[in-house]
Amino acid sequence: MRSLLSIRTRGVRRAGAALVLGALLLAPATPAAVAAPAAAPLPADRHQPEGDPDVLRDAAPRGLFVGTAVDMAALANDPVYRERVGAEFSSVTAENVMKWETLQPERGRYDFAAADELVEFARANGQRVRGHTLVWHNQNPAWLAEGDFSRQELRAILREHIHTVVGRYRGQIWQWDVANEIFDDEGNLRQNIWLETIGPDYIADAFRWAHQADPRAQLFLNDYNIEGVNAKSDAYYELARQLRREGVPVHGVGVQGHLGVQYGFAPDTTANLQRFAALGLRTAVTEADVRIPMPADTVELQAQAQGYSSLLTACLRTPRCDSFTVWGFTDRYSWVPDWFEGEGAANLLDEDYNPKPAYREVLETLALASGRGRD
């Protein structure tokens, strides 16, 4: 079994001593306290046996939180969107507004306005919040992405960001995607500013600092193309095992679940999630959507339903898979068409908020899992 020390960092190899040094560096200085909204207790599982079984959050079995990524512009400007986010989901994830480019657009200047809005919306709707994301190669502001920092400087910048952000929402954010998309599809650590300047111990550092800032938050690794057993999910399995052996507070692994009907669906998602569970980890489906080459026909819409079902069923069959989150729920607001030319229709509802076969499949599966088979 490869250890973290031996995990290949293509083009960048750090002596074991650097890893040990990273682990032993002094506890971070806590930055100036940032006024944090009063931390309310996390919403209990609002699952209402007598609730409306025709909405996802109430159809779900107790302990499974059904979530969506939230587009804050749509939440502010589209009343139907806002109503559906509150009614259908028991968990929300910031699609973009908890990323570095929004939270710290200039060095040392934080902008929490949009993130605060989401946390307040969640509180008002009895929803949990998944924080997304503390360390990533994408959506970093120019001052960070193009900065020329020493190892010590960049570690201090990362430490301060994590302590400031996670500390602000202490007790209000259920789970954090701490490290996002840190491996490539071959199972090598992805080249990013963190690896190139700090070295691989940035990963353990990020988890330790997040845990210091909010000991109750559950801290996740998160990535795409790790739904099934493959070189990439193997790398996460090994990393998680090694970090936990070193006492690093890694609590879970999120499989994003960005699928496409044209590629088929991994047959071993359940086995994959269950092997992480066997390590003592929580798991989650964090960003499910199933894109379709347009125009979508009825067969592809049915295949899409099966794609969502493959992810949800794997989660339902895995102990401590606590949440199933879709990456947007209506085709009216989806990242897919902007990123995959000629593809779209990836969500549970169409552009007019009408349920698609995928929505019905997810609702049915949740209801069956609740033992409330539907008449």
Active site residues: 181, 287
* Smallest distance from ligand G3I to CB 104, Å: 15
Nearer to ligand G3I, 139 or 152 (CB): 139
| Spatial separation of the C-alpha atoms in residues 73 and 349, rounded to whole Å | 18
Nearest to 287 by CA among 94, 57, 76, 73: 94
Please give the residue whose beta carbon sits closest to ligand G3I in the complex. 335
96 binds ligand G3I per the rule CB under 6 A: yes
Q: Smallest gap, in angstroms, from Cβ of residue 288 to ligand G3I?
A: 11
Distances (CA, A) of 112 to 36, 60, 94, 102, 295: 10, 31, 12, 8, 39
- Examine residue 287 and tell whether it contacts ligand G3I (CB under 6 A): yes
Cβ–Cβ under 8 Å, residues 303 and 261: yes
If binding is defined by CB under 6 A, does position 331 make contact with ligand G3I?
Answer: no
CB of 257 to ligand G3I, least distance (A): 10
CA gap 125, 84 in Å, rounded? 11
Output 19 or 219, the one with its CB closest to ligand G3I.
219
Which lies closer to ligand G3I via its Cβ, residue 55 or residue 135?
Answer: 135
Identify the residue among 6, 48, 77, 138 touching ligand G3I (CB under 6 A): 138
- Cβ proximity to ligand G3I: between 139 and 354 the closer is 139
| Of residues 160 and 287, the one with the C-beta less far from ligand G3I | 287
- CA angle at 21 for the pair 17 and 23, rounded to the nearest 5°: 120
SS (H, E, C) 169-217: CCCCCCEEEEEECCECCCCCECCCHHHHHCCCCHHHHHHHHHHHHCCCC
Name residues contacting ligand G3I, limited to 13-52 (CB under 6 A). none
Residue 139 as a binder of ligand G3I (CB under 6 A): the answer is: yes
Phi–psi pair at 291, nearest 5 degrees: -80, 160
x/- letters, 170..199, toward ligand G3I (CB under 6 A)? ----------x-------------------
Neighbours of 174 (CB within 10 A): 22
Residues within the interface to ligand G3I (CB under 6 A) = 95-96, 138-139, 180, 256, 287, 335
